[in-house]
Structure 1
């Protein structure tokens, strides 16, 4: 069912591409879309989706981005159609499991180096990967990255946490973040539609049915693996146990970074400025995309695609 739901998302794409399971170590494989395009010898662009996402969510971007260079998109370990292994409960170990899976994937495909683009959790993992394997990353593009700032002390918060956020947080803490979807059973797609009507709207220009909602539902009712790992790398209310800003200094100074935010996103955009301050002698560009929320690439796809192509132009 997930396969069919994803297939419907990818119907929008006109470019030629192939799909494959890339086998990495210990019986795990990562579900991958490969767009070779006319410029095979250029540095490939690799897309890492966010929490609860999958390759199908790039449906509005893949055609445009693959005109200039090869593009690879894969379902992160534990998400989508990729394997759903058991993750270590230790935050550092779980993060390493993600990073190693990306490295084994790269090696298997024989990619010398890559432009890495990560959204949300994908941004966090792309940064972590760049710290561990600096020679493999030509440029790091962080799109609305998750997990960079530290959790503020309750004492020094300007604005108190709204009661409803506390309530949702309290509900989610004992469970996995998406457990509610599985409990909802066949009502799941309706629940996605009710909780996140914006997803359907984002893709409304190209899909006039429920395929986006169905896809998001099927992505997230599988055996939880990636989301359990995510739970293990977070502390209450969605902050990272090991905030990436504390380690940004470890990203090699000659790896350029581009940070992309949606001007309407509820996620704090200060991380981009913090990264810039921490890397005074390195290239850091911050781009705000007008009229976009957290899912920048789906909210303003044309603008997003053009900005990414412009960033990529600087790389052979």
Structure 2
């Protein structure tokens, strides 16, 4: 098709170029799963240092992203433990099932797909890190399968703020416009001009990786190829959004349901458009639980790429500490 510029071969080529920046060995593969509906799907996955006996770290990306966005993190994070990252179902190179239109059901479908993925990989217990929309999904997974989550890490998580108690800010209004105009639908609608528009409108994406990826067209084109396909994951995300980009079922109203034994590490960018104050609110709602709040200066929403070294240090240190605490618990 001339009008839609999606090419599976191009997506594979772009991802390969991005992942070629990694210095450590890695494997990429599809994990076949069966959803509770009976639908057979596949989740695109990268694994590193899978032979290590340490507790694994699982990474879940945000809206409209894919495993390539972790290229500044995977080397460091996998030095002393297994690391796995996936393209969420409906995103990236994973398959594109039709999701429910009900927000609670969509959330459950996303969670169930991660659990099916976990079973196939035979992972017992792990550190679970989610960025933005991924943070929302990871928190929901931790509600449903607490026995699998040693430690929940939330990087600039979306979907926590209670829309009934908070007044929309300028940035919330901006997000509302983006959500309701649905920029990616426009990108797909303009066909062959889509890749060009992303390169022009989101030149900041390339800047975050310019020291390791010289060609500034690679990352914007990767974003385009990830999202030029049947956008089932994107539409599933929209079904969970209300008004000014809020979650229809905000996590802050449910966070007390999370088992007290699961520690939470929150990481925010100082210049993010997310609500940083949510970290303190979580801490207040979980007074007898471990809640660590980290703010990385001079970074925005994509803190994992903007300040990768600081982000990696926080994740590595917090995971090591939680490993140690868990070992001590087992001895007692």
TM norm. shorter chain > 0.5: yes
Aligned partner of residue 231 in structure 1, secondary structure: helix
Structure 1 distance, partners of 2:79, 2:109, is 32
Alignment equivalent of 1:132, drawn from 132, 140, 144: 144
Query: Is residue 85 of structure 1 aligned with residue 92 of structure 2?
Result: no
Alignment equivalent of 2:226, drawn from 215, 219, 244: 219
> How many aligned positions are there?
309
Q: CA deviation at 1:66?
A: 0.3
Structure 2 distance, partners of 1:130, 1:116, is 9
Alignment of 1:147-226 (within 5 A): 147-152=159-164, 157=167, 167-168=177-178, 170-172=180-182, 177-209=183-215, 210-226=217-233
Query: Is residue 32 of structure 1 aligned with residue 40 of structure 2?
Result: no
Alignment equivalent of 1:16, drawn from 15, 19, 25: 25
TM-score (norm 1): 0.93
Give CA-to-partner distance per residue, 1:117-176, whole Å, 9 cap, x none: 0000000000000000000000000000000002246xx73856787666545533xxxx
Cα pair 1:144 1:262 within 8 Å, conserved? yes
Deviates more, 1:266-275 or 1:79-88: 266-275
1:285 corresponds to: 292
Aligned partner of residue 84 in structure 1, secondary structure: coil
Alignment of 1:227-266 (within 5 A): 227-266=234-273
Give CA-to-partner distance per residue, 1:254-301, whole Å, 9 cap, x none: 100000000111211111111101100000000001111100010011
Alignment of 1:86-125 (within 5 A): 86-125=98-137
Aligned partner of residue 40 in structure 2, secondary structure: coil
- Unaligned segments of structure 2, at least 5 residues: 1-9, 324-332
Cα pair 1:37 1:67 within 8 Å, conserved? no
1:313 corresponds to: 320
Aligned partner of residue 72 in structure 1, secondary structure: strand
Summarize the Cα distance change of 1:162–1:97 in structure 2 as closer, same or farther, 3 Å threshold.
Answer: closer
Summarize the Cα distance change of 1:79–1:165 in structure 2 as closer, same or farther, 3 Å threshold.
Answer: closer
2:63 corresponds to: 51
Structure 2 distance, partners of 1:314, 1:162, is 35
Structure 2 distance, partners of 1:161, 1:42, is 41
CA-atom RMSD in angstroms: 1.7
Cα pair 1:13 1:63 within 8 Å, conserved? yes
Structure 2 distance, partners of 1:161, 1:110, is 41
Summarize the Cα distance change of 1:169–1:31 in structure 2 as closer, same or farther, 3 Å threshold.
Answer: closer
1:267 corresponds to: 274
Deviates more, 1:281-290 or 1:306-315: 306-315
Q: CA deviation at 1:36?
A: 2.0
Structure 2 distance, partners of 1:224, 1:37, is 31
1:299 corresponds to: 306
Summarize the Cα distance change of 1:27–1:165 in structure 2 as closer, same or farther, 3 Å threshold.
Answer: closer
TM-score (norm 2): 0.89
Structure 1 distance, partners of 2:82, 2:273, is 32
- Unaligned segments of structure 1, at least 5 residues: none
Q: CA deviation at 1:190?
A: 1.8
